[in-house]
Amino acid sequence: MGSSALKGTLGFLMVYVIYGAFNIAHGAIGFAEKGIAARIIFFHVPCAVYSSVAYMVATWYAVKHLWLLGGTNKSNTALEDSDYKSAAAMELGFLFCILATITGSIFAGVQWGSFWNWDPRETSIVIMLLLYASYHLLRTAFTTDPAKRARLSAVYAIIAVIPSIYLIWVVPRVLHTMHPTTTLSNPADTSLSYKLVLYPSFLAFTLLFIWLMQLRVSTMKLIEARRKRRLHAMEAQR
């Protein structure tokens, strides 16, 4: 898909999702609040899913980075590319994690009567937020040495994926949670009017994720190119 096709489709799809959320989807069965507030799930669920998908994407590029580093043909461009993609995915994961926490908290206030209940999924998202925040703190500690920063953050991403998998997939299935567990896995649990909005919403968030990642990787390349040029200029002055 070309870049303009991606942007055009995303713009149209998100407008459709916003319109559909309030005008196509009917009141949800089993929700305490059957009016407007329940529609937040069309934005909360994709944000929550993408907060974990982003982690997997980041880990994939972290593995690729270390793999390239251990290989005989160490291309600087390929090494930088995998590092930027891993870091960009981590940033987006952090953003989606924050959005999922905010939207989830609003919905919890409406549905369960309290904005925060320490439900297993709520607890696991707090730990996910801390994992993401630690990654970014680690990166800021090595701004003058990009190679070391890339290496250490790749190692961190790979190590931290283990607790993240445990928190996302295991904890909410082992402990009692107030969150519904079969909304996505069992199609019979979701009505047609909800599917007509929820599935396009996933597609829209997928396109948004791809676009934001491309954009962030490009800005990282620009920042690095300018940093290198500044270093060359300083060396030339000496």
> In the complex with other proteins, which residue's Cβ is closer, 148 or 230?
230
What secondary structure does DSSP assign to 83-95, as a single string?
HHHHHHHHHHHHH
The residue written with tokens 């199609």 in the block is 187
Task: Tell me whether residue 233 is exposed, middle or buried, using C-beta atoms within 10 angstroms of its C-beta: 0 to 12, 13 to 18, 19 or more.
Answer: exposed
If phi > 0 it is left, if psi is from -120 to 50 it is alpha, else beta; for residue 76 that is alpha
The residue written with tokens 């926490």 in the block is 101
- Torsion angle of C-alpha atoms 182, 14, 48, 187, degrees rounded to 10: 10
- The answer for residues whose C-beta is within 8 angstroms of residue 71's C-beta and 6 or more apart is none
Binding range to other proteins, per CB under 8 A, among 20-28, 90-98, 106-114, 230-238? 20-28
How many Cα atoms sit within 13 Å of 109 on the Cβ side? 9
Binding range to other proteins, per CB under 8 A, among 8-16, 71-79, 89-97, 169-177? 8-16
Angstrom distance (rounded) from CA 96 to CA 51 = 5
Which positions from 169 through 228 interact with other proteins, judged by CB under 8 A?
A: 211-212, 215, 218-219, 221-222, 225
> In the complex with other proteins, which residue's Cβ is closer, 7 or 138?
7
Closest distance to other proteins from the beta carbon of 157 (Å): 25
x/- site string to other proteins, residues 33 to 52, per CB under 8 A? ---x----------------
Site residue total, other proteins (CB under 8 A): 20
Q: Does 231 bind other proteins (CB under 8 A)?
A: no
Q: Does 16 bind other proteins (CB under 8 A)?
A: no
Would you give the DSSP letter of residue 81? H
Identity of the residue numbered 228: K
Closest distance to other proteins from the beta carbon of 222 (Å): 6
Closest distance to other proteins from the beta carbon of 98 (Å): 15
Q: Does 102 bind other proteins (CB under 8 A)?
A: no
Closest distance to other proteins from the beta carbon of 226 (Å): 8
> In the complex with other proteins, which residue's Cβ is closer, 10 or 79?
10
- Summarize as ranges the residues that interact with other proteins (CB under 8 A): 3, 7, 10-11, 14-15, 18-19, 21-23, 36, 211-212, 215, 218-219, 221-222, 225
